[in-house]
A and B are shown apart, each in its own frame.
Chain A
Amino acid sequence: MKRNLLVLGILILAACVLPFVVSNYRTFQLTLVLVYAIALLGLNILTGYNGQISLGHGAFYALGAYCAAILIDKAGVPYWATLPAAGAACFVAGFLFGLPALRLEGLYLALATFALGVAMPQLLKYHQLEKWTGGVQGIVIPKPDAPWGLPLNADQWLYFFTLAVTLVMFLLGWNLLRGRVGRALTAIRDHAIAAEAMGVDNALYKSLAFGVSALYTGVAGALSAIAVQFVAPDSFNIFVSIVFLVGIVIGGLASISGALYGALFIQFIPNIADDISTAAPWAIFGVFLIGFVYLMPTGVAGAVRLLLAKRRSAP
């Protein structure tokens, strides 16, 4: 336990030093990694811990992003205050979507959420909503500067802001998942009837899992809107949802640290693939994907765990 805390402390320290040694562009990319990590943790709560497959989390990501963008653009709300609002809106949306989804299991739920994911970009273009959403043109939002005269540029400040939000979200997630709620969620995943027999309210927990998962993804969406300074329907096509699913599987299902590994993968591997071959980057990406799945069948987090266990058991 002590050693884990030490490792965590070193990691956080490294994360704080990083923006001062790398370029602003890299800092921006690292900010996106943190944003993805929050979204992946959200999806992992639903899919990894609770066993409900979602192919439509891009929709909640979009909802969070638009909440933030509209609040900043139309209502003049400060950027930091949009995060709770986006989270709350997505929690309600996720919870409500979770209620009918209770009747759907496995692949059928995957299809229902897929429908949500593909519908989202078109709903965002809907002309009755255009005065808020900006239609196909989307919304451009200003970039926040560092407050209190801190000697940080806009990219560095945004990174630290995102880092702080990420730490809080991960702490809350860890707290939620290690206790009674986490056990109930995994029990439902592993054997729903047994869980019910143990007195777990399946319907409530499954809907709550959906809501909390959407909340995480929504907060991530809001952060992404602030970091990218722009939202448009084309930013949230179905591919976003698929990439999230790829991220949690590669990172490690039902693992909190897996969200971070998955985020690094979905941020950097497409770029690396693009560097290797501009003619067929997605083929290269596919090779990476198969390689990871083959070499680390329990995700990066699982492989790390295995490695540590081996080292510990070695004399």
Chain B
Amino acid sequence: MKRVACFAIALAVAFPVAAQKKYDPGASDTEIRIGNTNPYSGPASAYGTIGKSIAAYFKMLNEQGGINGRKVSFISYDDGYSPPKTVEMARKLVEQDQVLFMFQTLGTPSNTAIHKYMNMKKVPQMHVATGATKWNDPKNYPWTMGWQPNYQSEARAYAAHILKTKPNAKIGVLYQNDDYGKDYLKGFHDGLGGKKSMIVKEVSYEVSDPTVDSQILQLQASGADVFFNITTPKFAAQAIRKAYDIGWKPVHYLNNVSNSVGSVLTPAGLEKSVGIISSAYIKDATDSRWANDKAIAQWREFMSKYYPEGNQADVFNVYGYSVASTIAQVLRQCGDNLTRENVMRQAASMKGWRPETLLPGITISTSADDFAPIQQVQLERFNGKQWELFGEVLGGR
């Protein structure tokens, strides 16, 4: 009898432990399967390096023993930036490869194409690689989450800075007439709040327009002394050059989409770009201020060991490393409860955790009704050679 009691107690003690191990398809005692689509070919193949750096990150992680003893299998397919192909590949990953969840699928149209499907199937569409604001909609799409600061958060940060430093500014806005431009514009309006009347002129352009010269002239004529430049790289370069050439010298805010020194400021003219304000949230490995940074040194070591063919000047590789370390943290938090629901719950309960490759002070915080992990940015000013960060971390909560 005593024996039986002992056994019963032992069982009672052991059973909850066993019961805590919960798995959905794609997870087991030894493995976690993660699916991904990336444009390794086609018009957006420059982004393909993100998928490759993420794969390299998991290779490193597996060599170090994996996550809670489980190896990560990262299955990534090429979708060529074509939405129908993304749908096909997502279905393959979910239905045939049986992944636990999808991670970092890249592109706004590609993610739109699988948005409903993923939510219908109740398979997490984690940390999508696009800046659109619509991914933060936990009520209607509880299985989808973004990662990077979305366009609206970024625009709100500029608005806050203008309100603080130039409360009587007359603002002129140039924006691309599509969802991306309007997303920024909405965030900017929201950020100005009751002071929306500070905007004296808003002009738009089409992607098909040859130049934005006439728009810049209109903005100058409006008497604006602050310029918010919501343009993609080619038009950003034109706007910077034209404004300088006609002698219009507003305080110039340039969206993060176009703050590449190589492909925007250099063609526009570095001397014409002095003083432009933009924003960043991730450490740029080419920035001399991070030359002795511990996290960047670790990243360089990772790059040369696991992704030697990758370009260390490419900020996308820092991006891939950072976002992969975020999902690794989510999975660590999941422990032995690797259900899709728990992955979503853990991703939605991060409180101030940060990968060290983000700028100092920027953290990841989420909650059940906040699916926008990074909402902070830091402003930076161009000094003629490189971007210089200034001020405190802005935006977010």
Contacting pair A24 B77 (CB below 8 A): no
For A141, the closest partner residue in chain B by CB is: B116
Q: Nearest-CB distance from B183 to chain A (Å)?
A: 11
Q: How many residues of B contact A (CB 8 A)?
A: 35
Q: Nearest-CB distance from A234 to chain B (Å)?
A: 5
For A32, the closest partner residue in chain B by CB is: B88
Indicate if A229 sits at the interface (CB-CB under 8 A). Answer: yes
Contacting pair A230 B83 (CB below 8 A): yes
Indicate if B68 sits at the interface (CB-CB under 8 A). Answer: no
Contacting pair B87 A229 (CB below 8 A): yes
Contacting pair A29 B109 (CB below 8 A): no
The secondary structure that dominates the A interface is helix
Indicate if A235 sits at the interface (CB-CB under 8 A). Answer: yes
Q: How far is the CA of A142 from the CA of B117 in the complex (A)?
A: 10
Contacting pair B95 A136 (CB below 8 A): no
Contacting pair B96 A25 (CB below 8 A): yes
Known A127-B177, A127-B206, A137-B112; contact A229-B117, beta-carbon cutoff 8 A: yes
Q: How far is the CA of A237 from the CA of B39 in the complex (A)?
A: 14
Taking CB atoms and an 8 Å cut-off, the chain A residues in 118-136 that contact chain B are: 122, 125-127, 135-136
Contacting pair A25 B92 (CB below 8 A): yes
Contacting pair A232 B112 (CB below 8 A): yes
Contacting pair A228 B84 (CB below 8 A): yes
Contacting pair B43 A237 (CB below 8 A): yes
Contacting pair B179 A137 (CB below 8 A): yes
Q: Mark B175-194, 1 if CB is under 8 A from A, else 0.
A: 00111100000000000000
Q: How far is the CA of A138 from the CA of B110 in the complex (A)?
A: 10
- For B345, the chain A residues whose CB sits under 8 A away are none
- For A28, the chain B residues whose CB sits under 8 A away are 88, 91
Contacting pair A237 B82 (CB below 8 A): yes
Known A136-B179, A282-B41; contact A229-B109, beta-carbon cutoff 8 A: no
Contacting pair B208 A140 (CB below 8 A): no
Indicate if A175 sits at the interface (CB-CB under 8 A). Answer: no
Q: How far is the CA of A278 from the CA of B52 in the complex (A)?
A: 11
One of B43, B94, B107, B113 near A228 (C-beta < 8 A): B113
Contacting pair B95 A25 (CB below 8 A): yes
Indicate if A281 sits at the interface (CB-CB under 8 A). Answer: yes
Taking CB atoms and an 8 Å cut-off, the chain A residues in 138-185 that contact chain B are: 138, 140, 142
Q: Nearest-CB distance from A144 to chain B (Å)?
A: 14
Q: How far is the CA of A149 from the CA of B179 in the complex (A)?
A: 40
Q: Mark B24-48, 1 if CB is under 8 A from A, else 0.
A: 0000000000000000111100000
Q: Nearest-CB distance from B213 to chain A (Å)?
A: 20
Contacting pair A135 B179 (CB below 8 A): yes
Taking CB atoms and an 8 Å cut-off, the chain A residues in 206-238 that contact chain B are: 224, 228-230, 232-235, 237
For B114, the closest partner residue in chain A by CB is: A230
Q: Mark B97-140, 1 if CB is under 8 A from A, else 0.
A: 00000000001111011011100000000000000000000000
Indicate if B81 sits at the interface (CB-CB under 8 A). Answer: yes
Indicate if A274 sits at the interface (CB-CB under 8 A). Answer: yes
Contacting pair A23 B87 (CB below 8 A): no
One of A125, A137, A232 near B207 (C-beta < 8 A): A125
Taking CB atoms and an 8 Å cut-off, the chain B residues in 39-97 that contact chain A are: 40-43, 76-78, 80-84, 87-88, 91-92, 94-96
One of B42, B77, B84 near A224 (C-beta < 8 A): B84
Known A138-B112, A140-B112, A232-B112; contact A281-B78, beta-carbon cutoff 8 A: yes
Q: How far is the CA of A26 from the CA of B95 in the complex (A)?
A: 9
Q: How far is the CA of A281 from the CA of B78 in the complex (A)?
A: 9
- For B84, the chain A residues whose CB sits under 8 A away are 224, 228, 230, 235
Contacting pair B109 A136 (CB below 8 A): yes
Contacting pair A137 B78 (CB below 8 A): no
Q: Nearest-CB distance from A224 to chain B (Å)?
A: 7
Contacting pair B87 A138 (CB below 8 A): no
Q: How far is the CA of A50 from the CA of B42 in the complex (A)?
A: 32
Taking CB atoms and an 8 Å cut-off, the chain B residues in 196-213 that contact chain A are: 206-208
Q: How far is the CA of A127 from the CA of B96 in the complex (A)?
A: 39
Q: How far is the CA of A228 from the CA of B177 in the complex (A)?
A: 27
Q: How far is the CA of A32 from the CA of B41 in the complex (A)?
A: 21
- For B115, the chain A residues whose CB sits under 8 A away are 140
- For A229, the chain B residues whose CB sits under 8 A away are 87, 113, 116-117
- For A29, the chain B residues whose CB sits under 8 A away are 88
- For A25, the chain B residues whose CB sits under 8 A away are 91-92, 94-96
Give the residue among A29, A234, A239 with the most B Cβ atoms within 10 A: A234
For A240, the closest partner residue in chain B by CB is: B82
Give the residue among A28, A32, A137, A142 with the most B Cβ atoms within 10 A: A137
Q: How far is the CA of A230 from the CA of B107 in the complex (A)?
A: 14
What would be 12 A-B contacts, judged by CB atoms less than 8 Å apart?
A29-B88, A136-B109, A137-B109, A228-B84, A229-B113, A230-B83, A232-B112, A234-B107, A235-B109, A239-B80, A278-B78, A281-B40
Q: B residues touching A (Cβ–Cβ < 8 Å)?
A: 40-43, 76-78, 80-84, 87-88, 91-92, 94-96, 107-110, 112-113, 115-117, 177-180, 206-208
A-B interface, 10 closest residue pairs, ranked by CB to CB distance from nearest: A25-B95, A230-B113, A232-B109, A228-B84, A25-B91, A235-B83, A234-B109, A25-B96, A228-B87, A235-B84
Q: A residues touching B (Cβ–Cβ < 8 Å)?
A: 23-26, 28-29, 32, 122, 125-127, 135-138, 140, 142, 224, 228-230, 232-235, 237, 239, 274, 278, 281-282
